[in-house]
Chains A and B, each alone.
Chain A
Amino acid sequence: MDIFLQQLINGLVLGSVYALVALGYTMVYGILELINFAHGEITMMGAMVALAVIGALALAAPGLPGVLVLGAGLVVAIPVCMALGLLIERVAYRPLRHAPRLAPLITAIGVSIILQNIAMLIWGKQYIPFPDVLPQGRHEVLGAAITDVQIAILLLTMSIMLMLILVVQKTRLGRAMRATAQSRQVASLMGVDVNRVIASTFVIGSALAAVAGVMVSAYYGLAHYYMGFLLGLKAFSAAVLGGIGNLGGAMLGGLLLGLIESFGAGYIGDLTGGFLGSHYQDVFAFFVLIAVLVFRPSGLLGARVVERA
């Protein structure tokens, strides 16, 4: 029972981070039918920038409370990633708006390689440890442990997702985004500056990615210039799992993927008599993804068919 509960907690925490990144993929896809493969790297950049700020602060003012230092990291990383998202859309995607669909896919991969290399040049190839500033509290819940960091991740990601839903459902920009997703042409004929809406979508997605990047590096205690690749791939899978283009789907897919991974890692050893260890968790996650897509090609909540990608 305690192992089950423990894996449930771990899975939800991990899944909420996946969900946050998956939302960025799904929002851009919903509006442009474009898969922004550089999104994982934006997450990585968020982590790297935040770590640089947190590291510098920890050195300069060692007495500061952890929450404040973490907050400072976020406050710098979020606008940096927003600007990055804006720049990428403007430079790599907008000029190709009317090009064949393969073209922006190639530039997306190009941008992600460029970002990885920039990060490597700035921060080096080695793993960067998360500075020792975070509260280390652990709480016992029915025989399982939940840390302060996990609680913070859950609270932060859940409130951000709630806010996003409200923005999309209830605000002027959200309506313009949904209108643009349904028909770019009609939205522009009704007075919506479509380019602006698309740019806003990238900016919002990038802000979410920044938060996710900081959270994931705080959770694992490290960051690395290549961390965006697997994280991005998994979050993209989560978006596809839930039904790409669908916000609720991205959240559901993210949480499910986190849970699958966590339970897979927890039980795969027992299930295979010790033949496969917990480091097969990635394989497990992708196996489930394939299985779901065989039976529901448009994802769990997907209404629209992923026809061209």
Chain B
Amino acid sequence: MSAPKVGNLLSSKLDAELTPLLTVSAVSKAFGGLQALSDISLQVHAGEIFGLIGPNGAGKTTLFNALTGLYSIDRGEIRLNDARLDGRPPHQVLQAGLARTFQNIRLFAEMTALENVLVGRHARTTSGVVGAVLRLPGTRREEADSHERAHALLRRVGIAQHADRLAKNLPYGDQRRLEIARALATEPSLLALDEPAAGMNKVERAALRELLLQLQADGLTLLLIEHDVKLVMGLCTRLAVLDYGVKIAEGTPDVVSRDPKVIAAYLGDEAI
């Protein structure tokens, strides 16, 4: 390989890493007297796996809820690419390209695995009842396409065999996978995962890690809340650490894990 080409590759890689996908600027949120988020700013770059860690009650899930439109924020700004997300209802945030999973699994329990993923297609499809009743070709094509994509996603996360089982009857680890498949069906540019490894055994964790790396390789950007420090440190390109609603550190896993504030707040208790 000639030198210029390597240089090009390098610079294009650097450019890609520095394209901000999600920009959180000075976001604050209080519940009554409790300041759940104070002045949080961070940037997630396209293509990275960004970890959000911190002790219980640090405000990680609150930040997720604020990002996805579930909570309104008191101050600050949230942008995905150039689109403003704050102040918009959840379905519009999702439409803009930010999808999530939940810390406590929240599937549509009484629907099949396939149907759960098909609900994820809702935002990317348009057909109405009239088309369905009259069996118009456009509607049928869209429905067939949705089914095909949904089956492909179930295969992708490794639960194709469960397609027609009710979500509530799936094994625990597979329910977590199904949540990821459902979120992927919405064609997000940023996927936010709230403790995806919670309650998983060693084998399931390894498989999850593989899946997340594959997703990253496919160009998806991931925002990850996780308690499993080993998983986070091995997986994330960068991390932000929250404590009592304040961001106390940000950087590569190496830098963060040596930060005395982080060690005091978090790693000191739990890493060992």
Binding site for B on A (CB under 8 A): 163, 167, 170-173, 175-176, 178-179, 182-183, 185-194, 200, 204
Q: Is the CB of A172 within 8 A of B143?
A: yes
Q: Is the CB of A188 within 8 A of B90?
A: yes
Contact of A189 among B70, B111, B127 (CB under 8 A): B70
Q: Is the CB of A188 within 8 A of B119?
A: no
Q: Is the CB of B129 within 8 A of A173?
A: yes
Closest CB in chain B relative to A132 CB, distance in Å: 33
Closest CB in chain B relative to A304 CB, distance in Å: 10
In the assembled complex, the Cα of A178 lies from the Cα of B114 at a distance in Å of 14
Q: Which stretch (B13-21, B36-44, B102-110, B205-213) binds chain A? A: B102-110
Chosen A-B contacts, 10 in total, with CB atoms closer than 8 Å, are A167-B133, A172-B121, A172-B127, A172-B132, A173-B128, A173-B132, A175-B118, A182-B111, A189-B69, A191-B94
Decide: A191 near B95, CB < 8 A? Known: A176-B119, A178-B108, A179-B119.
yes
Contact of B120 among A182, A183, A190 (CB under 8 A): A190
Q: Is the CB of B89 within 8 A of A188?
A: yes
* A204 (CB) vs chain B CBs: closest residue: B129
Binding site for A on B (CB under 8 A): 68-70, 89-91, 94-95, 99-100, 102, 106, 108-111, 115, 118-125, 127-129, 132-133, 142-143, 146, 182-183, 186
Decide: A176 near B122, CB < 8 A? Known: A190-B94, A193-B91.
yes
Contact of A170 among B89, B132, B182 (CB under 8 A): B132
A172-B122, A189-B91, A190-B94 are known contacts; what are 6 more A-B pairs with Cβ within 8 Å? A167-B132, A167-B133, A171-B127, A190-B99, A192-B91, A192-B122
Instruction: List chain B residues, Cβ under 8 A from A187.
Output: 108, 119
Closest CB in chain A relative to B151 CB, distance in Å: 15
Q: Is the CB of B122 within 8 A of A191?
A: yes
* A163 (CB) vs chain B CBs: closest residue: B133
- The 3 A-B residue pairs whose C-beta atoms are closest, nearest first, are A191-B123, A171-B132, A191-B94
Closest CB in chain B relative to A29 CB, distance in Å: 16
Decide: A190 near B186, CB < 8 A? Known: A172-B143, A176-B122, A179-B108.
yes
Decide: A179 near B111, CB < 8 A? Known: A190-B119, A190-B120.
yes
Contact of B91 among A163, A178, A183, A194 (CB under 8 A): A194
Q: Is the CB of B91 within 8 A of A186?
A: no
Q: Is the CB of A183 within 8 A of B132?
A: no
In the assembled complex, the Cα of A132 lies from the Cα of B250 at a distance in Å of 81
Instruction: List chain B residues, Cβ under 8 A from A167.
Output: 129, 132-133
| Residue from B95, B122, B142, B146 with most neighbouring chain A CB atoms (10 Å) | B122
Q: Is the CB of A182 within 8 A of B129?
A: no
Q: Is the CB of A175 within 8 A of B110?
A: no
Q: Is the CB of B111 within 8 A of A175?
A: yes
In the assembled complex, the Cα of A191 lies from the Cα of B123 at a distance in Å of 5
Q: Is the CB of B108 within 8 A of A191?
A: no
Instruction: List chain A residues, Cβ under 8 A from B108.
Output: 178-179, 182-183, 186-187
Closest CB in chain A relative to B248 CB, distance in Å: 28
Q: Is the CB of B122 within 8 A of A175?
A: yes
